[in-house]
């Protein structure tokens, strides 16, 4: 299901990476204002009276340069300039370097119900963090029913019909030291780098449904190292019921892909039946994907060796 991305100020500030560095100091009434642009803006010229080009739905950053300029003005001029800026209907204004906002900014924020936040890092780091967060939540996205895991560093999306055992596979993998990202609903977003990032909806974050037990909190049970907020998608594994009449790939030469948001992602189709250790199989799939990405294709190498032996039956395989 393709969805249009957007975020309110409240949801943006609730992102863990921003919660760690940013706090809201005024304008709480405007927390439902929307942000629709993944890039921030520095409205220094607006403080000088030139408001053309200010995009209200972008996050506005006031760093050391802007604050120094503002504090050099008289109290009356500060109030006037702040009123002009905050009168533009801004979604969110962020003061960096942990600086206490001037009284004029606090007053203008309260009068216009404009959210005003303070970020502890300097402007460059605060902007980088905001860009990373906004790239993820404002990117073209779709939601898929599945489970997302980090297996040996490979972002692996498990697909398959309900009840096939995707969540149980995730639990086995977590027990073996791999990291859990999302269960049931996986939000997949296309970044400007053409990478696909997957994460869980906020309400489902860290939670996994295990039939017969119920919903568990993976972070609480296994610790913080057992979970990730998001992971780049590199491999899709469709888990299906074993069918003796279906010709499954036995050599590994088929290079199937699944199109997600216009990006082809390598895909495997793995049948499940009693006795198969799916956790080990998924670990091998991830390791094999790493080898392929490094240019080592075991199946192709085997076939090449076999063909060479057939052409020269007297030679030893591998020579």
Domain count, the chain: 2
Residue 311 lies in a domain: no
Please confirm, yes or no, whether 250 is among the known catalytic residues: yes
Shared-domain flag, residues 149 and 289: yes
- Residue 224 and residue 125 in one domain: no
Looking at residue 36, which CATH number applies to its domain?
A: 3.40.1390.20
Question: Which of the following is catalytic: 145, 219, 269, 297?
Answer: 145
From 56, 86, 89, 57, select the one nearest 70 (Cα to Cα): 86
Q: What is the pLDDT of residue 9?
A: 96
152 is a catalytic site residue:
no
Range of the domain at 171: 140-302
pLDDT at 1: 42
Q: Is residue 210 part of a domain?
A: yes
CATH number of 241's domain: 3.40.50.300
pLDDT at 297: 72
Q: Any catalytic annotation for residue 184? A: yes
pLDDT in tens, the chain (319 residues): 444 457 999 999 999 899 999 999 999 999 999 999 889 999 989 998 899 999 999 999 999 999 999 999 999 999 999 999 999 999 999 999 998 999 999 999 999 999 999 999 999 999 999 998 998 788 888 999 999 999 999 999 999 998 898 999 999 999 999 999 999 999 999 988 889 999 999 899 999 999 889 999 999 999 999 999 999 999 999 999 887 777 666 666 678 999 999 999 999 999 888 767 899 999 999 999 999 888 877 666 766 776 676 776 665 655 5
Among 58, 81, 144, 166, which one carries the catalytic annotation?
Answer: 166
Same domain, 126 and 191: no
Residue 8 CA to residue 29 CA, distance in Å, equals 12
Catalytic residue among 135, 150, 183, 184: 184
Which residue in the list 211, 245, 250, 259 is annotated as catalytic? 250
- Say yes or no: 286 and 253 in one domain: yes
Residue 289 designated active-site = no
pLDDT in the model for residue 137: 82
Same domain, 93 and 109: yes
Query: Are residues 147 and 258 part of one domain?
Result: yes
């Amino acid at each position: 299901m393709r969805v249009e991305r957007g975020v309110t100020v409240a949801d943006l500030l609730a992102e863990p990476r921003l919660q760690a560095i940013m706090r809201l100091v005024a304008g709480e009434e405007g927390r439902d204002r929307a942000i629709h642009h993944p890039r921030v803006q520095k409205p220094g010229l607006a403080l000088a009276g030139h408001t053309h080009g200010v995009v209200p739905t972008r996050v506005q950053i006031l760093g050391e340069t802007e604050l120094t300029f503002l504090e050099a003005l008289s109290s009356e001029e500060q109030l006037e300039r702040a009123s002009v800026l905050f009168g533009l209907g801004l979604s969110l204004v962020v003061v960096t370097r942990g600086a206490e906002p001037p009284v004029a900014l606090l007053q203008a924020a309260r009068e216009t119900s404009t959210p005003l936040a303070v970020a502890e890092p300097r402007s460059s780091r605060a902007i980088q963090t905001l860009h990373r967060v906004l790239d993820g939540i404002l990117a073209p996205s779709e939601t898929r029913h599945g489970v997302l895991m980090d297996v040996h560093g490979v972002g692996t999306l498990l697909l398959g019909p309900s009840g096939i055992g995707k969540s149980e596979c995730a639990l086995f993998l977590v027990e073996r030291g791999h990291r859990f990202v999302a269960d049931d609903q996986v939000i997949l977003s296309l970044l400007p780098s053409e990478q696909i990032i997957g994460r869980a909806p906020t309400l489902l974050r860290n939670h996994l449904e295990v039939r017969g037990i119920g919903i568990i909190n993976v972070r609480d049970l296994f610790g913080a190292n057992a979970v990730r907020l998001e992971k780049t998608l590199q491999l899709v594994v469709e888990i299906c019921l074993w069918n003796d009449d279906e010709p499954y790939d036995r050599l590994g030469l088929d290079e199937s892909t699944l199109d997600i948001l216009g990006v082809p992602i390598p895909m495997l189709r793995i049948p499940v039946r009693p006795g198969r250790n799916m956790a080990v199989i998924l670990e091998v799939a991830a390791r094999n994907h790493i080898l392929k990405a490094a240019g080592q294709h075991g199946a192709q190498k085997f076939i090449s060796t076999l063909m060479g032996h057939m052409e020269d039956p007297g030679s030893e395989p591998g020579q």
